[in-house]
Amino acid sequence: MFPNENACFYGIAEKPGEKIGFYFAVQSGGAFDIDYEVTAPNGKIILNGVSERQGEYVFTSQMAGDHKFCFSNTMSTFAEKMVDFEISIEHELKETAPLSETSEKVLSPMEQSLNYIANKLGTVQKYARYFRLRQNRNHYTVVSTEKKVFWFALLESILIVTMSVLQVVFIRRFFTTTKGRI
């Protein structure tokens, strides 16, 4: 995102009661923070945050329609930011009557294994996003530290050369004789 930019994205909930997942993380730029706002189709603000680095939220849609997910980089006057985000809308079937023991569906071992693998895959994806975020932030820290070390070393080298030249000048003054002085 460019400085002073607002960017909005939309997710469509087809019916009330759908689960909506929202994840974001600032990968680079400035102080790694951004403002965000999630708005329902009727204009009501569902989530908002100021100067946050990352967030992961799941909420239930109260109505069908376009949910607006906006990011704002207006607090930054010169820093571009890269934001990684994901919006997922999952269909959730709600039943009004409680399930009885006879109406519960029994899962086959294959379906149980598939559910287990799907859950573990979701966990792996979550960790992969987190580690990618940490890698980008650590890379930024390394680059920043590298610049500081470079400029400090350059300043230190200039200071050493200056001190050496001054020492040579002063030592020569001590050993040079001037005629006419008593």
| pLDDT tens-digit readout, 33-43 | 899 999 999 99
Residue 145 pLDDT class (50, 70, 90 cuts): very high
* Same-domain check for residues 34 and 113: no
Residue 36 belongs to what domain range? 1-92
Q: Is residue 130 assigned to a domain?
A: yes
Q: Which CATH number is 68's domain given?
A: 2.60.120.680
Residue 101 in any domain: the answer is: no
| Closest by Cα among 40, 23, 1 to 133 | 23
Calculate the CA dihedral of residues 94, 96, 97, 102 and round it to 10 degrees. Answer: -20
Structural domains of the chain, count? 2
Q: Is the pLDDT of residue 98 over 50?
A: no
Same domain, 87 and 114: no
Model pLDDT, residue 32: 84
Position with higher pLDDT, 59 vs 106 = 59
User: Could you tell me if 64 and 124 lie in one domain?
Assistant: no
How does pLDDT run across 118-129, given as a tens digit for each residue?
Answer: 888 988 988 888
Structure tokens at 43: 């204009």
Instruction: Give the CA-trace dihedral at 49, 52, 56, 62, to 10 degrees.
Output: 10
The tokens for 144 are 């920043």
Residue ending a domain, choose from 92, 127, 153:
92
Flag whether 103 is in a domain.
no
Residue that finishes a domain, picked among 92, 118, 134: 92
Residue 95 has pLDDT above 50, yes or no: no
